[in-house]
A and B are shown apart, each in its own frame.
Chain A
Amino acid sequence: MSEEEGKKEYAYFLGCITPNRYPGIEAATKRILKEFGIETKEMIGASCCPAPGVFGSFDMHTWLPVAARNLAIAEEMDLEIVVTCNGCYGSLQEADHLLRENPKLKEKTNEILGKFGREFKGTTKVNHSIVVLHDFIGLDRLKEKITKPMNGVNVAVHYGCHFLKPREVRGHGSSETPYILEDLVKVTGAKEVDYKDKLMCCGAGGGNRTADSVQSLEWMRQKLVSAIEEGCDCMVHPCAFCHLQLDRGQEEMNKAFGTDFNFPILFATQFLGLAMGLSQTECGLDIQTTTMPEKLLK
């Protein structure tokens, strides 16, 4: 086993929506990582990341120390971070990047953190859970654990904005031709189906869901229709905030527009969990808004 393969613990940064609205994402992620010998450690006292849209966009000088405090908690644990939300990924990774690149910002931020005995040092790394699955665990090891192949299932992948951009900071290659989610879907035996609005925002980001829910839902409807028209059975994504928008948003959209959408939405570890033999209860898929068809549960 290489040194990289030997690292088996991550500080799990939960953020807000994963633990407080969609604990199925948290449960499925912990169960899947544990299946590969990876322990997720609780970050005691972590807070909102804070959200890039409603904090980062309005007041960087508050956004930054709140993010730095979360990074400092992981540093105190001497662990790298794993996340299940693109908003958290964006805020924490970008804050880490800014503080490492700008000594004055770091000094100013640490003056604030010092008021309660904390310090940002720049010793952790922020990882997205789907990158851990794809790059650290790897497709070969994932494939070995697939006990309920998703043969015949057509999947629309949705990345969300903050996973892919800014490209230079994220480091996942081209933001126009991503491959990580596609690989994770295909390893289950499912078919990844291209669709017109694949790289479109879910409609929630940038504070849009909070500011203008109708416009936000209309945006989402366009995306869902684009996937449904291509014959997709479900949507698989890597973001708890997108999950809130795409899942609960369908109920809100049906009320607002008189529609009847029930298009299954799954976080990547929930989809992989089903393919690895976890029940929909273990993945929390029976406590969300959209329902799972037999095709995914067989």
Chain B
Amino acid sequence: MSVPHRMIGVYVLKTSHAVPLGPAQMELRKAVGLDEMAPTAQKYKDQLEQVQTIFRTTGYDAMIDFDWDTMNLKGMDKGGKK
């Protein structure tokens, strides 16, 4: 798998979403009359942990070389692409 594809896995492991919510998008949500954060697993730690449990169980985390300490791909914290 390429680094960009593995990074999508990182986003899901960190937030439950391949395309996570950030502060700028919260403003967009409020602009159309919605709550600033949808009640998805990104909002609830226990729900996010369920998604992470799946990834640990199937070995997806190892498949993409995910580092649970840095919550990133291994080596990415040192600025390099593995």
Contact = CB atoms under 8 A, between A and B. Distances in A.
A21 interface: yes
A10 to B, nearest CB: 15
Interface stretch (A54-62, A97-105, A140-148, A190-198): A54-62
B71 interface: no
Interface size class of chain B, counting residues whose CB lies under 8 Å from the partner chain: 35 or more
B13 to A, nearest CB: 10
B50 A118 contact: yes
B25 A21 contact: yes
Interface stretch (A126-134, A169-177, A280-288, A289-297): A280-288
B76 interface: no
A201 interface: no
A207 to B, nearest CB: 6
9 tightest A-B contacts by CB?
A: A45-B47, A47-B16, A27-B32, A19-B38, A16-B19, A62-B60, A20-B21, A16-B17, A62-B58
Contacts of B79: none
Contact of B58 (A19, A48, A65, A69): A65
Interface in B14-68: 16-22, 25, 28-29, 31-34, 38-41, 44, 46-51, 53-55, 57-58, 60, 63
